[in-house]
Amino acid sequence: MNFYFLLFDKFETLDLFGPVEIFGRIPDARLNYISMKGGIITSAQGTQILTQKAAKLSDDAVLVVPGGRGTRPLVKDADFLAGLKELADSAANVLSICTGSALLVAAGVLVNVKATSNKYAFEWVTSTGDAVWIRKARWVHDGRFYTSSGVSAGIDMALGFVADHYGLDVAKANAQKAGYIWNEDSEVDPFT
């Protein structure tokens, strides 16, 4: 399975590396770090990552969109949103962490799709466009879309994705190997 992590300046570091830790434990997973222009991208915490320029994804691709402070200006960036829509439309699955769902909804990707986001930024995220917003959820799965609440919830969502695609035992083993206590129930979000 090919995972494509779409990065932008000032993304939230744990939004990326939590799911990377989980997906990187899948034996056949290939992890790819992309951005709209390619090159070095810097997280909100100063971590720099070399990315490849985004291109149309394969039919089996999983697009992963983190959140963070960098989402604020991007919800108004028409070129970024058009590129995001093209990537999302070509991916088999689309996952977002935290305020990454604001980018997906602003790009017109989550129309009539159940979704959630970071509860501390929920009012702002829901103002960026129409989706069927679920406040009380750690993560939400609707069709080919997975959206999670804030930051560490991306790890729970990633494990939920692994359970759905590789089996519950694989997800539990990955959580165990990562030393992570998985919040297995997507409807329980202690930050709601």
Domain boundaries, the chain: 2-177
How far apart are alpha carbons 78 and 181 in whole angstroms? Answer: 39
CA-nearest of 168, 71, 180, 169 to 125 is: 71
pLDDT of residue 82: 98
pLDDT in tens, 82-118: 999 999 999 999 999 999 999 999 999 999 999 999 9
Contacts 24+ apart (CB under 8 A), 124-130: 124/99, 125/99, 125/101, 128/75, 128/102, 129/102, 129/105, 130/105
Q: pLDDT means per 10 residues in the chain (192 residues)? A: 97 98 95 98 98 93 98 98 97 98 97 95 92 94 97 96 97 96 93 82
Q: Is 94 a catalytic residue?
A: no
CA separation, residue 159 to residues 61, 72, 120, 163, 192 (Å): 17, 27, 23, 6, 20
Q: Residue 192 gets which letter from DSSP?
A: -
57: Cβ contacts below 8 Å, ≥ 6 apart? 2, 4, 63, 87, 90, 91
Q: Which of 98, 131, 159, 175 is catalytic?
A: 98
The pTM of the whole model exceeds 0.85 = yes
Spell out the CATH class of 2-177. Answer: alpha beta
